[in-house]
Structure 1
Amino acid sequence: MIDATHRNTALLVAGCFFMEMLDGTIVTTAAPQIGRSLGAPPAAIGLVVTAYLLTLAVLIPLSGWLTRRLGNRVIFLTAIALFTLASIGCAASVSLGMLVGMRVLQGAGGAMMVPVGRTMVISRAAKEDLLRVTSYVVWPGLLAPVIAPLAGGLITTYASWHWMFLINVPLGVIAFCAAWRLVTDGPDSAASGAPPPLDWAGVVLTCLGLGGLTYGAHLVALPAPPALLTAVLLTGSVALLTAAALHLRRTAFPLLNLRTLGVPTFRVTQAGVIAYWLVCGAVPFLLPLMFQTQFGWSPVKSGAVTAFVFAGNVAIKPATTPLINRFGFRAVLLAATAGTTVAVAVLGFTSAATPIAVIAGLALISGVTRSVGFTVYSTVGLADMPHELMRDANTLAATSTQLAGGLAIAVATVALRIGGAFGAGLTAYTVAFCLLALIAAGTAAEALRMDRTAGDAARRQPTPAPATATRD
């Protein structure tokens, strides 16, 4: 059973996850105002987002080693404090350079905060409670990219951009006080023997590769990306990550333990979740853009309809666990990925003449399916994982998820450019949404490879009714 402390810790980590994800995207809507305030062109404000995402991608792989070295409590409390203080620094910034520097510090806090928190929650859970505690942690983070455009627009319209960072201060203080009371070092933390030596070769290869790939995605998303630099950076990053994978499989104490991929369920879900994150991260970016530039809607109307994705996330959450318990992880994941495929494809064929109720309904369905899909992905891979590999699996999962989140906008931008060059009577957005739907269809095909009994250890299956005695 999940006791009150365990449940409250899971909700604390969920709040931290929400803060981290919200700060990754909310700045975009305030780019013009920040640029005017700091005397920088709006295009340069993209560095504020990229610096944050790049720092997350680079430092998340180190979180597992740091907790072995210093313990959950020290790292988690330090991460919350660093994130909160860096948020104050962001609000106090008087130049673009200072703001970017503060965003790097904020990313460093986020890189430790959420993976360490997830490990604390998951490592304490019995297999049959894993689905429930994971759902506590996951769904608030899914809401952040959806409500960020609307929240950012409201803050910049009725206040100033500084408040996008200052709202983290009371939340951070509350989180720190709660963590001080709730978080202790578990048996798998620093106290259980000397930590393994740091894999320096893994750090260099992995972190440079992830950082280069994230920055390359930023260049791709620019209106006029520098072709040669982008190609060299992306090619070099892929080469570094390939070398990292070869090294991590051979070394005795790898920074990221790729041996966790030997668990079939975890291997299948890691392949699927990266593609699924790309789709679900791109849709909230493309929808408001299509509504405003293609349909001619106001930002308020656009944000209100996009918020139906948020409503779908929330509405389905009470039913997610019962659905999985009843039908199993594989069946629910197939339904979720197939539903995402259809909803995204149909959204691409909507127009200004389509009834708003239809568009809102499609956005609601996409929110429902993405919420269910991510709950499955976040749980089933760990449900079959041996306890001694749980920390390593969580760190690898956090790294791949963050990488996919950092690449989502670039994927959306490339899909839109392909759509613009496609012609044949289709709009750029129709082609872009269809390309995203093809990626989602690939995740459904990947889900078919999953064993029908995958994750059954984490399900609470109905107890069969006792047989009725018959009279002779």
Structure 2
Amino acid sequence: MSPATTSPPATTSTATSAETSSGGAAPPNALGGRPLLDDATKRWLPWVVALAFFMQTLDTTILNTALPGMARDLGEDPLKMQSAVVAYLLTVALLIPASGWLADRFGTRTVFLWAIGLFSLGSLGCAVSPSLHALVVARIVQGVGGALLVPVGRLVVLRAFPKAEFLAVMTFISLPGLVGPLLGPTLGGVLTQYASWHWIFLINLPVGLAGAVACRRYMPQILGPVGRRFDWGGYALFSVGLMLLSLALQGFGEHVVSMAICLVMGVAGVACMMAYWLHATRTEEPLFSPALFAVPTFRIGLLGNVFARLGSGATPFLTPLFLQLGLGFTPSEAGLSMIPSVLGAMFTKTLAIRLIRRAGYRQVLIVNTLLLGVLIASFALIPHDVGHVWLAIHLGLFGMVNSMQFTAMNTLTLGDLDERNASGGNSLLAVVMQLSMSLGVATSSAFLLLFSHGLPRTEGPAIVPAFHMTYLALGAMAAMAAFIFYQLRINEGAAEESAESKLTPED
């Protein structure tokens, strides 16, 4: 039996159609309900979605270790390669809000296939890029595909599997999301050192081909409600505002345009965001409802995410540069050195929810945020001749505290949302997570360029103090989020029962 599109229960007003796996029309399931999946589809669909999760999470980390080698080949300053990272993260942030509507409008299989195709095409473009500008364009194409892979895959699982099976399937497809960051830095370093950096993108091509073939066979074509409106006006204002603010911050750091232009872009970005807020209060179905911000935990959690991730989100980008440019590590050594951070993060995930239930969000987040800031700042104590053991311990502790921070912030932000606001809140949180990492990379690059200004070389012991000062600045910024979490109630979340079920897969 081919995967089919079926209509939701008759109690809803949703109308759907059906297609066979070859694209031909087929009548809707007369019984209604979820798509009728054959045994092979039920067995292999989670693997298809898990493969997409793996591709997306691997790509967010594999590039960082390769940046110095890429800079040498492209004739660029290694300290000015952040645009290749920011372009991808920002594109993903901008397209996440539209992913659900696109899947509803054109069908999950169609959008998923396009996502794999664009991700693979962008990967090929990155591999053959002759310059940084061409690489940035290819990363944008890759980001369009990456922005659709994970949300649409999660949506398919939500709609195709009954509630009793959903948690088990989501747990299975989330595991590659943990393996991707574990393999990414190491694989990027090994490929860069022993082959060439081009292979960190070329390896996506066979994976993408396998994913496309499996998608055509096992991905159901599920359509959403007919006539569902999308807030295109709000989406335009919100997206343009985010893009202008990000470009303004990056322009301030790189000095590629005048300060006057950066200031104009920054003011225009703020104006677009204010215009979106006014638009949302007057629109019946806004992109993100203002009612979300009436929930105190969502409001505090979202703001805390922004400031805490400015520091912690920049560290996976900054540390491989520090290890290679400052400490003289080879790409493979730098990649292997990042493993303790990921292992520490995986270990902490088993403890975070129990600690939150016992101590409450306020106490956990205040203490952990301050500790996170201290650990980021303490990278300034790492000398040029640091031993591998001490570095592994340092990165392992950072990974543990960073994972605790992400888990606590995400469950706090989503925990009190009702069914009506859960989807919009989850989407906005995903946007903020990507945007904050983008801003963190841009901010760390700006600090690094500022502190290294006037140095004759950007490699070796001379650049180490600039990295140290950058870590101190990022640590101070991350620690300031503790003032935001101080606004929580004293016993907030101490007996929370649903936090774990609402946790979204972390990057």
Is the CA contact 1:217–1:406 (under 8 Å) kept in the aligned structure 2? no
Per-residue Cα deviation, 1:67-91 (whole angstroms, up to 9, x for no partner)? 3433544433432343234334544
Q: Secondary structure at the match of 2:102?
A: helix
Partner residue of 1:440? Answer: 478
Q: Distance in 1 between matches of 2:263 and 2:409?
A: 32
Partner residue of 2:105? Answer: 69
1:52-451, aligned counterparts within 5 Å? 52-91=88-127, 99-119=135-155, 148-176=184-212, 184=220, 190-191=224-225, 193-196=226-229, 198-222=230-254, 226-324=258-356, 326-352=358-384, 355-416=387-448, 427-451=465-489
Q: Which has the higher helix share?
A: 1
Q: Distance in 2 between matches of 1:183 and 1:275?
A: 38
Q: Partner letter of residue 154 of structure 1?
A: V
Q: What is the CA-CA distance between 1:207 and the residue it aligns to? A: 1.5
Q: Secondary structure at the match of 1:434?
A: helix
Q: Distance in 2 between matches of 1:436 and 1:420?
A: 16
Q: Percent identity?
A: 34
After TM superposition, the structure 1 stretch with the greater mean CA deviation from structure 2, 58-67 or 174-183, is: 174-183
> What TM-score does the superposition give when structure 2 sets the normalisation length?
0.73
Per-residue Cα deviation, 1:179-212 (whole angstroms, up to 9, x for no partner)? 56775578xx613x5202x323213211212222
Is the CA contact 1:88–1:166 (under 8 Å) kept in the aligned structure 2? yes
Distance 1:375 1:68, change over 3 A: same
> What TM-score does the superposition give when structure 1 sets the normalisation length?
0.78
Q: Distance in 2 between matches of 1:332 and 1:50?
A: 30
Q: Secondary structure at the match of 1:190?
A: coil
Q: Distance in 2 between matches of 1:15 and 1:109?
A: 14
CA root-mean-square deviation: 4.1
Aligned length: 449
Q: What is the CA-CA distance between 1:458 and the residue it aligns to? A: 1.0
Unaligned segments of structure 2, at least 5 residues = 1-38, 454-463, 502-507
Partner residue of 1:470? Answer: none
Q: Distance in 1 between matches of 2:254 and 2:100?
A: 33
After TM superposition, the structure 1 stretch with the greater mean CA deviation from structure 2, 133-142 or 224-233, is: 133-142
Q: Secondary structure at the match of 1:194?
A: coil
Q: Distance in 2 between matches of 1:349 and 1:132?
A: 43
Partner residue of 2:461? Answer: none
Q: Distance in 1 between matches of 2:358 and 2:288?
A: 34
Q: Distance in 1 between matches of 2:412 and 2:124?
A: 38
Unaligned segments of structure 1, at least 5 residues = 462-472
Q: What is the CA-CA distance between 1:261 and the residue it aligns to? A: 2.2
Distance 1:440 1:219, change over 3 A: same
Q: Secondary structure at the match of 1:458?
A: coil
After TM superposition, the structure 1 stretch with the greater mean CA deviation from structure 2, 321-330 or 117-126, is: 117-126
Distance 1:80 1:260, change over 3 A: farther
Is the CA contact 1:71–1:190 (under 8 Å) kept in the aligned structure 2? yes
Q: What is the CA-CA distance between 1:274 and the residue it aligns to? A: 1.6
